[in-house]
Amino acid sequence: MMFSDIKLLLTNKFGEAVIAGEETGGLQPALLINPDDIAAVCLELRNNPKTYFDFLASLSGMHYNDETNRYGVVYHLTSIPYKTQLTLKVSKPHDRESDQLPEFKSITSVYRTADWHEREAYDLLGIFFEGHPDLRRILLPDDWDGFPLRKDYQAAEYYKGIKID
């Protein structure tokens, strides 16, 4: 299936609102998905015999740090039998003054490999994944303060008496 066919398949199944936009200028075209629909879209793309995106190759968290302090997640899906790839993106603004973490729906119920990818995005960017079965730090110590891949992150000078460079 071509990119336009996948877009049509999703809008026919979920309606026009499921796709918030598209990026077609680069080497990897991407569908911008409504964040509330990402799990259902991934499930459809995995289970539909026309697409069969059976492998989550990568999931990356993003902090755009634009005027709305937007956070996002990029999903790289692969269909091994059809030898095709698809990029999906979700994003939403986040209040800079809020103590709440930016939040997206987990896709661990669709792709088990999302478990580790989502934990990494949580650990390094502070993105909370609603419905994740075990969301906790994976790379940094449990008592680490902050999320070091955020663009506004201020590194501590010391951690447990050890100077951080």
Look up the CATH number of the domain holding residue 57. 3.30.460.80
Q: Total structural domains in the chain?
A: 1
**What pLDDT score was predicted for residue 156?**
87
Cα separation, 1 vs 36, whole angstroms? 24
**What pLDDT score was predicted for residue 1?**
83
Predicted confidence (pLDDT) per residue in 2-31, tens digit: 999 999 999 999 999 999 999 998 888 999
pTM exceeding the 0.85 threshold for the entire prediction: yes
**What pLDDT score was predicted for residue 151?**
94
**What is the DSSP code string of 14-40?**
H-GGGEEEEE-SSSS-EEEE-GGGHHH
**Strand ranges, E, within the chain:** 19-23, 30-33, 55-63, 71-79, 84-92, 103-105, 128-130, 158-159, 162-163
Cα separation, 57 vs 161, whole angstroms? 39
Q: Using DSSP, state whether 162 is helix, strand or coil.
A: strand
Q: Could you tell me which residues come within 8 angstroms of residue 154 by beta carbon, excluding any fewer than 6 positions away?
A: 146
Spell out, as residue ranges, where the chain has pLDDT lower than 50.
none
Structural domain harbouring 97:
3-163
Q: Using DSSP, state whether 74 is helix, strand or coil.
A: strand
